[in-house]
Amino acid sequence: MSEIITSIDVGTTKICTFIAEVSDEGTISLLGAGCVRSEGLRKGVIVNVSAATQAITESIEMAEHEAGVTVRSAYVGIVGAHISSHNSTGAVAIPRGRSITRHDIDRALDAARAIPVPSDRDIIHTIARSFKVDQQEGVQEPIGMHAYRLEVDAHIITGATTAINNLVKCVRSNGVAIEELVLEPLASGEAVLTPDERDLGVVVVDMGGGTTDLAIYLEGSVWHTVVLDVGGDTLTRDLAMGLRTPFKTAEQVKIRYGHAQPEWIPEDDVVSAAAFGEVHSQNVSRRFIAEILEARSEEILHMILREIRRSGYDGLLPAGVVLTGGSAQLQGLKELGRDVFRLPVRTGIPNSIQNVPRQYQAPAFACGLGLLLWGQRNDPYETSMPTTPTGLRLRQWLRSLLPG
C-alpha cells in the first residue's frame, strides 16, 4: 500500500509543510504544500514559542487543505548555532567469527554513542561513516561478512536540549508526532546531491536566512557537518544600512535586483527604493547594491572555505560545492563561489519528487522536499535520538529494512 509522509521545515524566514504519497514502487508524489512567513525564530532557533506554534499551525493547515489529508506525524528539520558535531568509534566482538548481522551494527553504533554528552545537550544523529571488519578498513556494507571484530567510524551530531525541546513543543502542540528530527543540510543533501557526488566527495551548503549549514560527503556518507551563525538576513541587513531603507524594502531589493558580481552590472542601471525620512523613493545604482552584496557574500564564502579546510577534507572534494537554500538564489553567487573555492560550484535544485509545482522547484525548498526523501530513504546506518521525556516519537535505532 502507498504511504503518506509529511515534512516540516521550520526556518528563520519561512515555515513549510509538505505532504507526499510514497507508492509501492518508492515513487514520491507531492499532494500538498503550505508555506508561511516564519514567526518566533531567530537564526533557526525558536525564541517565541507561541508565535512559532501559530506559524507552524498555519503551514500545516494550508498543506492539509491542499492535500485533503490530516497530518499525524512528520519529519522535522532542525538547525541553529547550537548544533555541534564530532566523530567517534565503537567496536564490538563477534562471537565465534560468525557473519555480521544487523544486531551487531546496532551494538557498534551504541558503543560509538557511549560518549560523555553534557546534560544540556542531546544526540540528534549518529551516522556511520565506514566500518572496519577485523583488519579490513573502509567497509561500507558489513552485513554477511565473517569476522571476530566489528568497528564503526561514526559522525555524531548534537544539539542544545532546550532548543530541541522548544521545537518539539511547537510541533506537538499541533497534534503532530515527530518521526525524526533531521539536521537541515542533511535533508537538503537528499534533495540536491547525486550518488556520484556523494561517492567522490562534495560539500552541500544550505544558505538560509539565519544560518549557513554545511555537510561534507565522502564515500557515500556524511563525514562532517557545521552550522555557521550567518545567512541571507545578514545580506539584507547590510543593504538596509547601505541604502538607509527599511528591512522589508531591502529584502525586496535583494530578491529582485540583487547580484554578487558588480562588474556585470551596467553603471547606469538604477532602481527605485524607499528611504528613511523621504516621501518619495530614491534612485539607487544597481551596481552599488551588487557591491554591498558581493562584499558580504565573499566573506560568507571564505567562512565556508575555512570550515572546509578545518575539516581536513579540502583535498578530497572533486565534485566541489553545491549551493542550495534561499540565499543561494542570489545571481552571481555561484560564479563568486568558484573564484573563492577553486572548485566546481553549482546551484542545487530539488527535482526528485513528482508533481511539485513550479514555485517549489527552487533551492529555497530543498530542505522541505529533502525531508520527504530522508523519510522515504530508510538509511539503515543512521540512528536518531530515542524517545525523549517530552514524548517525542522518533524512529527506531535501526530501520527494519536492514537485513539481518
Look at residue 233 and tell me if it is in a domain.
Answer: no
pLDDT at 386: 43
In a domain, 375, yes or no: no
Domain contains 124 = yes
d(CA 212, CA 209): 8
Task: Confirm whether 329 is domain-assigned.
Answer: no
For residue 313, what are the CA distances in angstroms to 185, 225, 362?
17, 12, 28
- Which one-letter DSSP state was computed for residue 48? -
- Under the banding of pLDDT at 50, 70 and 90, the label for residue 378 is low
What does the pLDDT read at residue 389?
35
Task: Output the pLDDT for position 380.
Answer: 58
Q: Tens digit of pLDDT for each residue in 270-328?
A: 998 888 867 678 889 999 999 999 999 999 999 999 999 999 999 999 999 999 999 99
CB 53 within 8 A of CB 173: yes
pLDDT in tens, 98-133: 999 999 999 999 999 999 999 999 999 999 999 999
Confidence of residue 59 (pLDDT cuts 50, 70, 90): very high
DSSP reduced 3-state for 270: strand
**With bands split at pLDDT 50, 70 and 90, how would you rate the model's confidence at 384?**
low
Residue 341 forms part of a structural domain: no
Residue 242 predicted with pLDDT over 90? yes
Query: What dihedral angle (degrees, nearest 10) is formed by the CA atoms of 397, 375, 366, 298?
Result: 10
Kindly state whether residue 106 falls inside one of the protein's structural domains. yes
State the Cα–Cα distance between residues 208 and 230, nearest whole angstrom. 9
DSSP string, 243-290: HT--HHHHHHHHHHH-BS-GGGS-TT-EEEE--TT-SSPEEEEHHHHH
Q: Is residue 96 part of a domain?
A: yes
Position 76 pLDDT exceeds 80: yes
CA quadruple 251, 12, 185, 348: dihedral sign: negative
How far lies 283's CA from each of 270, 271, 275, 366, in Å?
6, 6, 10, 35
Residues 171 and 195 sit within 8 Å (Cβ to Cβ): no
Q: Bridge partners of 153?
A: 89, 130
Question: Is residue 118 assigned to a domain?
Answer: yes
18 pLDDT tier (thresholds 50, 70, 90): very high
Domain, as residue range, for 124: 85-158
Query: So what's the pLDDT on residue 274?
Result: 83
**What's the pTM value of the predicted model, to 2 decimals?**
0.90
Total residue length of the chain:
404
CA 384-322-194 angle, 5° bins: 70
Of the candidates 174, 182, 176, the one whose C-alpha atom is nearest the C-alpha of residue 53 is 174
Would you say 104 and 150 are in contact if contact means Cβ atoms under 8 Å apart?
yes
Q: In the chain, what percentage of residues exceed pLDDT 70?
A: 93
Residue 331 DSSP code: B
In whole angstroms, give the CA distance from residue 7 to residue 18: 5
Q: Alpha-carbon distance 358 to 306, whole Å?
A: 35
Backbone angles phi, psi at 344, to 5 degrees: -60, 140
**Neighbouring residues of 287: CB distance < 8 A, sequence distance ≥ 6:** 262, 265, 266, 267, 269
Q: Please, which pLDDT band fits residue 388 given cuts at 50, 70 and 90?
A: very low
Question: Residue 105 carries which side chain, given as an amino acid letter?
Answer: I
Q: Which tens digit of pLDDT belongs to each residue from 124-147? A: 999 999 999 998 998 989 999 999
Q: Which residues contact 275 (CB under 8 A, 6 or more apart)?
A: 243, 244, 245, 281, 282
Count of domains for the chain: 1
Strands 3-10 and 73-78: parallel
pLDDT band (50, 70, 90) for residue 377: confident
Query: Can you give the CATH number for the domain in which 117 is found?
Result: 3.30.1490
